[in-house]
Amino acid sequence: MSQSTQSLSRRIQDLVQQIYPELDATILASLIVDAFWPAGTQRRKRARVRGNTLWSERDALVITYGNSIVDGAHKPLDLLNDFLHRYLRGALNSVHILPFFPYTSDDGFAVSDFRAVNPQLGDWADINRIARDFKLMSDLVLNHVSSQGNWFNAYRQGQAPFDKFFFEADPTDDLSMVVRPRTTPLLRRVDTSNGPRHVWCTFSHDQIDLDFRNPEVLLEFLRIIRLHVDNGVEIIRLDAVAFLWKEIGSPSIHLPQTHAVVQLMRLLCDFASEKIILLTETNVPKAENLSYFGAGNEAHAIYNFPLPPLILHAMMSGSAQYLRRWQRGMPPAPMGCAYLNFTASHDGIGMRPAEGLLPEHEKQQVIDTVRATGGLVSMRAMPDGSQSPYELNTTFYAALERTFKGADQYHFERFICSQTIVMSLEGIPAFYIHSLLATPNDHEAVEHRGMNRAINRHRWDYPTLRGLLDDPASPQARVLDALTGRLKLRGKQTAFHPNATQFTVNMGDDRIFGVWRQSLDRHQSIFALHNISDETVTISSEALNLIEDVAWCDLLSGETVDPLAAQITLTPYQCRWITNRA
């Protein structure tokens, strides 16, 4: 055995001892290696050195369901592939296809078969086709499975190894500390061949939580990761990973064993011959979210969950006070890590990440304004039995129809400004397909499906959508053209590398949100300025410290910027990318 192999085995054993101290670490480490690298696969002799080469300024991602675009005749994955090439090629190079497996509820997140593609969408060949031209992200829904899938059916029948795959509890157990984002009962009673059992359901009674105290569960998910990687997946999204490990009498969120499991997966990915990026999905307050970077040894990337509510508040209030305060206190991502920046996803706009960042009266104004645009609010259960707003259910485009002042003529400009902020910040920008397409709230889907989140999960008829995109005056065409144009421009700027230096600029005016970015080689600087108000704002150029004897220009307008000029003006919701290198 080579020294590098010994090193990998030793490191796996150290993590196994943290997760499963009662088991033989040597044997389990060998099983882990065999699960992740079955016969015929190769691994690196040494782990990848942490660095900033896994991504670049050219990386930008679209988030979509496999059937966000349909026509009733063709496979949805074929239509998605056509849409990606026809409208997004050159602007975005990565795609997150939300769970594309057979499922029974929650729009894919109650998976019934992790090894198959939902035949209503297409097949693995269609996934492979997309992965050839775009970096592909898939979901590892590792906290739970469908109550109607093969795994849970085998559990109820007492079939090994599935008879020990699911987390059981007793209704008399102390579960008062459990943190979860739902108001439904935590336990579900089910009949099994071994008698009645109560199984743990963090999200719904159709989503039964797995028991990672059984190492067979971990091994099975490592095999599933391998299947995805072999089919072209480059980014693995660890869905709801914070809830992975449970202990009776504890909050059962962010437990040490959960972090150790993520560290183990990161270690395996670092030794993989394929480039694999781990992304954790933890819709929680700032410190808890940042913890999934670990010491640079857990997730490669984490969602920047405070961004959606903070950007929404800034655009509605016309004040960057809280957005700037939060951004100023955000640390750079550790070496080898990055933020994933976004404003919208398939879920709602999470309000938990705004805890401690927005005062309660400011959050309530956001909630009231979203409701005024036709948006909805979902609640979560608190330990004392009360309920608290968990997320806002709306498309981001619809939410910005109004400000705290009411509706105005700046809806388009305000929305484009909000998305430009996402492009400007340290990290990798991601855009939900319905943000790119200016999709309105789908109230009909909510009524039809009886689920708040359906408001943000519209399915476009492709011929109808193409007709709208062919009309330059439609909101869909205007928004897609503006955003893809800025993304193509952004991809050419080294100062927008996900790990390029960032400094939050205080312009002395809360109506302006600004950051300074500098490329890794220090050759390019960009001052990204965003007027988040409905007023024309003039600021002193001294706040930017533009170096004299250097040609500065605004990338977005094409204007030359005189470093000796006393003032810089931004019209309502205007953005400027002022750079020394065009």
Long-range contacts: 515-523, Cβ < 8 Å, 24+? 515/327, 515/424, 515/425, 515/426, 516/544, 517/424, 517/426, 519/493, 519/494, 519/495, 520/52, 520/494, 521/494, 523/494, 523/581
Rounded to an integer, what distance in angstroms lies between the CA atom of residue 350 and that of residue 421? 18
For residue 26, how many other CB atoms are within 10 A of its CB?
13
Give yes or no for a contact between 141 and 240, defined as CB atoms under 8 angstroms apart: yes
> How far is residue 382's CA from residue 439's CA, in Å, rounded to a whole number?
33
Q: Is 239 known as a binding-site position?
A: yes
Q: Which amino acid is at 84?
A: L
Q: What is the DSSP string of 495-553?
A: GGSTTSEEEEE--S-TTEEEEEEE-TTS--EEEEEEE-SSS-EEEEGGGGTPPTTS-EE
Is 255 annotated to bind a ligand? Reply is no
Can you say how many angstroms the Cα of residue 383 is from the centroid of all Cα atoms in its chain?
27
Coil, strand or helix at 231 = coil
**338 bridge partner residues:** 301
How far is it, in rounded angstroms, from Cα 258 to Cα 402?
Answer: 41
74 labelled ligand-binding:
no
Per the annotation, the verdict on 239 as an active-site residue is yes
Residue 43 φ/ψ, nearest 5 degrees: -130, 160
The answer to whether 562 is annotated as binding is: no
Residue 141 token pair: 């829904």
CB-CB contact of 204 with 216 (8 Å): no
528: Cβ–Cβ under 8 A, 6 or more apart, which residues?
420, 424, 514, 515, 516, 517, 575, 576, 577
CA–CA gap between residue 414 and residue 317 (Å, rounded): 12
Q: 403, 411 in Cβ contact below 8 A?
A: no
139: which strand partners?
A: 237
Active-site residue (options: 206, 211, 239, 442): 239
Check whether 10 is labelled as a binding-site residue: no
Classify residue 228 as exposed, middle or buried by CB count within 10 Å of its CB (0-12, 13-18, 19+).
buried
Does 346 show up as a binding residue in the annotation? yes
CA 305 to chain centroid:
8
* Spatial separation of the C-alpha atoms in residues 81 and 93, rounded to whole Å: 12
Bond prior to 161 in cis (omega within 30° of 0): yes
Distance of CA 297 to the CA centre of its chain: 19
Beta 402-403 vs 406-407: how paired, if at all? antiparallel
**Residues within the annotated binding site for substrate?**
106, 144, 237-239, 346-347, 453
**Residues within the annotated binding site?**
106, 144, 237-239, 346-347, 453
Give the residue numbers marked as catalytic.
239
